[in-house]
A and B are shown apart, each in its own frame.
Chain A
Amino acid sequence: MSLRVRLALVIGFFLFYSTASAQMGDEVRNIFFDTISGEYQATPIGVDDMRYIGNRYITHDDSVLMDYATRIVRSDLDFYADFELIPIDSFYLKTYEINELTVLGWRRLGADILVRLEAEFPGDKLRVRWRLFDTVRQQQFSKGVLERTKSQWRVLGHEIANEMVHTLTGEEGIFLTKVVYCREVGGGKELFLADYDGANERQLTSTGSINISPFFSPDRDEIYFTSYMGGDPQLYRINIGNREIKKVAAYSGIVAAPAVSPDGNKIACVLTKDGNSEIYVLDLSGRIIKRLTRHRSIDTAPTWSPDGRMIAFSSDRTGSPQIYLMDSDGLNVRRLTYQGGYNDSPIWSSRGERITFVSRTKYGRFDLASIDTSGHDYRILTEVGHNENPHFSPDGKHIVFSSTRLGPKDIFTMDITGRNQRRLTRVGKCSNPNWGPIRK
């Protein structure tokens, strides 16, 4: 058995184990659910190989390009929570002695929806016409055209997938979003930026210091983060374009755990200037707008509700960390979690009704769990390795997190049901991810 096959088997086993073993009936109810419409149901979708429809001789490079772009579309739709990708079945093709599938053929393979892609190469460009078919009625119901220079085949693939999502669900696709995370470099931690699928990774900071807790601004190309670059951990922001770093807030003690409000105008964060970690709201220039907590225990990890009216946070006021909710002015503090002895790192779904967090479960493992905002329906989403720092995708259907499930600590994504798990980094020593907004 080649190394690659064995590796694939190992990874496959882990992914299977992490999702499937949870199904087999622990005391905790399983992970398959849809917060939008009740039961989870992914639509089976097929994507045909991209075909050249021009009338010239097609070069090898161009046919490779078509293959690459198709792979991006398939991989995006496969990952997306609402879809289940039906692969082309080569055995089926062989049995019927055919080279390609008809709409009816896709129906027989189980696809409800079929995507057909047709390529042309005007000048140095790749132009793709996409068509969507309903395989039950065997009818085309939507189409469109997109064009990019050939070198941007990756972007084009994501744009096609975004249009599929928009056409089929009415929502904005997330396939052109970015993920930021920390990686150990030398004795410090630097911020790295990558596409949502892990491609095009680049190093953002080179401060040689510890940089942690990155958080995207929802409306500017900026990332807020805590850095030790000036000695004490204080709040900074970096412009993603020119990589210019500015100090935002400096207070005695630490300035940590920044969370920018959904309207982009305020930052909830932790200050310890009072001799204890308390949650404050700052304006974008670092001035204090309001102190929200007054308790001699640890209060940290604030996260805004999507309407900006509430904040969830973690506190060890009962002796171990648990998740609490409060109004965004600090009033009406109430405890949300009672399960297990350690619940921390809450993150509010952009869909509003659920909070995902880190929960210490059996055998002292740290898993991702979620609960609805009324404190009901606690579910464990992961079952392997230590899993930390969950953050939602802007559409609230997917989660990025760090995990040690394959040994080294890497960045992973999955959908909110715990399915479609994907490894973004492969070098280890990666942590603290945050998912960027959809840019218009």
Chain B
Amino acid sequence: MRRLALLALIGMLAVAVMAISCGGPKEVPEEVPVETAPPVEEDTTPAEEPAPPPPAPKLQETQFQTVYFDFDKYNLRDDAKASLDHNFGLLQEFPDVIVKIEGHCDERGTVEYNLSLGEKRAKSSMDYLVSLGIDPGRISIISYGKERPVDQGHNEEAWAKNRRSEFKIISQ
């Protein structure tokens, strides 16, 4: 997938470079008086659209770090804060990016309680970013409770991976 995206990006850049090199300078002859015979080919060419600017580097969702939690907890551990500090840097670097934070839980405990717990996890992640200065209008939250585990296992290793809040890019 990533390789495909990279190829597409290179392709787009190549097209853009070609457009600049071909289209750019050829607008000049239009100011030449009518009497002088213009080169035929160039006269029939329709006025080219302005070349698109080279695309700005985009933020990838995978650049965000997932934030992990303890069982039945939604307070931020030190490593969770470090992850959020990293994500804060990304949000500052890309001020147009709008994200949704998904709160998730491990499989233990009931559906309803975990739905509320997941929301608390997303909310504590959001609150931390807002306290650092991110506009709350750029962040929304959703809880999936225990409905979407990343690891289907039934052991502490799997549970630890599943107790998390994840960042999803809504627009940029």
Question: What is the chain A residue whose CB lies nearest that of B141?
Answer: A253
A18 and B72 CA atoms in complex are apart in Å by 27
Shortest distance in angstroms between A214's beta carbon and chain B's nearest beta carbon?
A: 11
B147: interface (CB < 8 Å): yes
B108 lies within 8 A of A277 (CB): no
A324: interface (CB < 8 Å): no
Residues of B within 8 A of A320 (CB): 72
Interface size class of A (residues with CB under 8 A): 35 or more
Interface size class of B (residues with CB under 8 A): 20 to 34
Known: A189-B147, A233-B143, A316-B72. A212 touches B111 (CB 8 A): yes
Dominant SS at the A interface?
strand
B109 lies within 8 A of A344 (CB): yes
A254 and B145 CA atoms in complex are apart in Å by 11
B123 lies within 8 A of A389 (CB): no
Residues of A within 8 A of B110 (CB): 301, 344-345, 358, 388-389
B115 lies within 8 A of A256 (CB): yes
A431: interface (CB < 8 Å): yes
B113 lies within 8 A of A314 (CB): yes
Q: Mark A58-78, 1 if CB is under 8 A from B, else 0.
A: 000000000000000000000
A386 and B113 CA atoms in complex are apart in Å by 16
A272 lies within 8 A of B116 (CB): yes
Question: What is the chain B residue whose CB lies nearest that of A389?
Answer: B110
A254 lies within 8 A of B113 (CB): no
A300 lies within 8 A of B72 (CB): no
Residues of A within 8 A of B116 (CB): 254, 256, 270, 272, 277, 298-300
Residues of A within 8 A of B142 (CB): 231-233, 254
A272 and B115 CA atoms in complex are apart in Å by 10
Residues of B within 8 A of A189 (CB): 147
Question: What is the chain B residue whose CB lies nearest that of A187?
Answer: B148
A210 lies within 8 A of B111 (CB): no
Known: A277-B119, A298-B120. A432 touches B111 (CB 8 A): yes
A321: interface (CB < 8 Å): yes
A236: interface (CB < 8 Å): no
Residues of B within 8 A of A366 (CB): 108-109
Interchain CB contact (< 8 A) of B115 among A276, A300, A314, A358: A300
A342: interface (CB < 8 Å): yes
B144: interface (CB < 8 Å): yes
A300 and B119 CA atoms in complex are apart in Å by 12
Residues of A within 8 A of B119 (CB): 253-254, 272, 277
B112: interface (CB < 8 Å): yes
The number of inter-chain residue pairs (CB within 8 angstroms) is: 81
Known: A253-B119, A272-B119, A320-B72. A210 touches B113 (CB 8 A): no
Shortest distance in angstroms between A234's beta carbon and chain B's nearest beta carbon?
A: 11
Residues of B within 8 A of A231 (CB): 142
Q: Mark A201-239, 1 if CB is under 8 A from B, else 0.
A: 000000000101100000000000010100111000000
A276 and B109 CA atoms in complex are apart in Å by 19
Residues of B within 8 A of A388 (CB): 110-111
Residues of B within 8 A of A314 (CB): 113
B91: interface (CB < 8 Å): no
Shortest distance in angstroms between A233's beta carbon and chain B's nearest beta carbon?
A: 7
A300 lies within 8 A of B143 (CB): no
A119: interface (CB < 8 Å): no
B113 lies within 8 A of A321 (CB): yes
Shortest distance in angstroms between A208's beta carbon and chain B's nearest beta carbon?
A: 14
Name the residue among B113, B123, B144, B145 with the largest chain A CB count within 10 angstroms.
B113
Interface residues of B in 96-145 (CB under 8 A from A): 108-113, 115-117, 119-120, 123, 141-145
B112 lies within 8 A of A301 (CB): yes
Question: What is the chain A residue whose CB lies nearest that of B115?
Answer: A256
A210 lies within 8 A of B147 (CB): yes
Known: A298-B120, A342-B72. A270 touches B143 (CB 8 A): no
Q: Mark A89-125, 1 if CB is under 8 A from B, else 0.
A: 0000000000000000000000000000000000000
Shortest distance in angstroms between B36's beta carbon and chain A's nearest beta carbon?
A: 63
B108 lies within 8 A of A386 (CB): yes
A363 and B116 CA atoms in complex are apart in Å by 25
A257: interface (CB < 8 Å): yes
Q: Mark B36-72, 1 if CB is under 8 A from A, else 0.
A: 0000000000000000000000000000000000001
Shortest distance in angstroms between A224's beta carbon and chain B's nearest beta carbon?
A: 13
Shortest distance in angstroms between B120's beta carbon and chain A's nearest beta carbon?
A: 6
A279 and B49 CA atoms in complex are apart in Å by 58
Residues of A within 8 A of B148 (CB): 210
Question: What is the chain B residue whose CB lies nearest that of A277?
Answer: B116
Task: Name 30 A/B residue pairs within 8 A (Cβ), A-sorted.
Answer: A189-B147, A210-B144, A228-B144, A233-B143, A254-B116, A254-B119, A256-B112, A256-B115, A257-B115, A270-B116, A272-B116, A272-B119, A275-B123, A277-B116, A298-B113, A298-B117, A299-B116, A300-B112, A301-B113, A316-B72, A321-B109, A321-B113, A344-B109, A344-B112, A344-B113, A366-B109, A388-B110, A388-B111, A389-B110, A432-B111
Instruction: List B residues at the A interface (Cβ < 8 Å).
Output: 72, 108-113, 115-117, 119-120, 123, 141-145, 147-148
Other A-B pairs beyond A228-B144, A254-B115, A320-B72, 15, CB < 8 Å:
A213-B112, A231-B142, A253-B119, A253-B141, A256-B116, A272-B119, A272-B143, A299-B116, A321-B72, A344-B110, A358-B110, A366-B109, A388-B110, A388-B111, A431-B111
